[in-house]
């Protein structure tokens, strides 16, 4: 792997306040998806172990494929268990997305699980795929991995939004990602992404991110380009822009609709 391929493109773009577009994987098992993501204009992809039955082995394989072409591989882990976070990072993920973070204490625990000392307590693996198995002194290796790892926490409940300021203040967190589907469900307005209460939540988290130098992320509003544009203007720089499932379905529906509209002779 070339030296620059081991660099985390998403980390670099977020540091420069540039827009990062991420593809959600729930269906794909083939390594070709990394090339498709890159050809489609994506900066990152994330393997969704929370809502899809990915094995740890398949997840690591997809991460390795993305690493090789400069697309940032992320993994949404299924729980707050430390072992999930450390195993996907050891397997080649350049970042972790942790669902349903509601408190400062939970955010601090995520940092402990994802970062090496002095920032956290992640167990040391040594050489691994995230840096191309490059032989480095352990101190330098740990420092590089800390620098190249993106830590994303998802705010998906009213409690998480209420604690956004405290969560954003935690050192070692990079992105506060609002899960709009779960949040609207928790608010009792499922799917109503234009509801004023959801807009207030976006604004509250955006303010917390600005105050503490963190990145606002948004998900659950795929294909709503108008709302995505509003949120980008509000400060969002990490956007879950599509899923493999939705792309396959959209293409299938378009083709079958066109064919069924042809008059039968």
* Residue 252, φ and ψ in degrees, nearest 5: -65, -45
* Domain definitions of the chain by residue range: 3-149+219-260
Active site residue 51: yes
pLDDT digits 0-9 by tens, 28-44: 999 999 999 999 999 99
pLDDT digits 0-9 by tens, 49-89: 999 999 999 999 999 999 989 999 999 999 999 999 999 99
User: Are the C-beta atoms of 25 and 52 separated by less than 8 Å?
Assistant: yes
Query: Across all residues in the chain, what is the average pLDDT?
Result: 95
- Write down the pLDDT at residue 7: 85
212: left (phi over 0), alpha (psi -120 to 50) or beta: alpha
C-beta neighbour count of 8 within 10 angstroms:
23
User: Are the C-beta atoms of 114 and 85 separated by less than 8 Å?
Assistant: yes
The predicted model scores a pTM of 0.94
Peptide bond just before 118 cis, omega within 30 deg: yes
Catalytic residue of the set 51, 113, 195, 212:
51
**Contacting residues for 9 by C-beta, under 8 A, at least 6 apart:** 43, 44, 70, 71, 72
- Write down the pLDDT at residue 127: 86
Q: Span 3-149+219-260: which CATH code?
A: 3.20.20.60
Q: How far is CA 134 from CA 59, 93, 125, in A?
A: 21, 16, 13
- Write down the pLDDT at residue 148: 94
**Is residue 95 predicted with pLDDT exceeding 80?**
yes
């Amino acid at each position: 792997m070339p030296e620059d391929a081991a660099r985390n493109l998403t980390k670099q773009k977020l540091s420069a306040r540039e827009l990062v577009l991420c593809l959600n994987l729930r269906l794909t098992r083939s390594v070709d998806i990394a090339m498709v993501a890159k050809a489609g204009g994506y900066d990152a992809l994330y393997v969704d172990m929370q809502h899809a039955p990915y094995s740890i082995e398949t997840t690591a394989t997809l991460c390795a494929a993305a690493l090789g072409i400069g697309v940032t591989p992320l993994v949404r882990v299924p729980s707050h268990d430390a072992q999930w976070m450390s195993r996907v990072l050891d397997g080649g993920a350049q970042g972790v997305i942790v669902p349903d973070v509601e408190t400062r204490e939970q955010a601090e625990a995520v940092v402990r699980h994802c970062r090496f000392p002095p920032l956290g307590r992640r167990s040391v693996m040594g050489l691994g795929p995230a840096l191309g198995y490059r032989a480095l002194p352990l101190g330098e290796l740990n420092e590089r991995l800390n620098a190249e790892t993106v830590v994303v926490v998802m705010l998906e409940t009213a409690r998480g939004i209420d604690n956004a300021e405290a969560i954003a203040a935690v050192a070692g967190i990079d992105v506060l990602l609002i899960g709009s589907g779960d949040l609207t469900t928790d608010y009792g307005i499922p799917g109503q992404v234009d509801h004023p209460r959801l807009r207030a939540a976006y604004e509250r988290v955006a303010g917390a991110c600005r105050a503490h130098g963190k990145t606002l992320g948004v998900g659950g509003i795929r294909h709503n380009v108008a709302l995505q544009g509003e949120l980008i203007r509000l400060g969002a720089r990490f956007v879950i822009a599509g899923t493999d499932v939705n792309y396959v379905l959209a293409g299938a529906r378009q083709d079958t609709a066109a064919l069924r509209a042809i008059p039968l002779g």
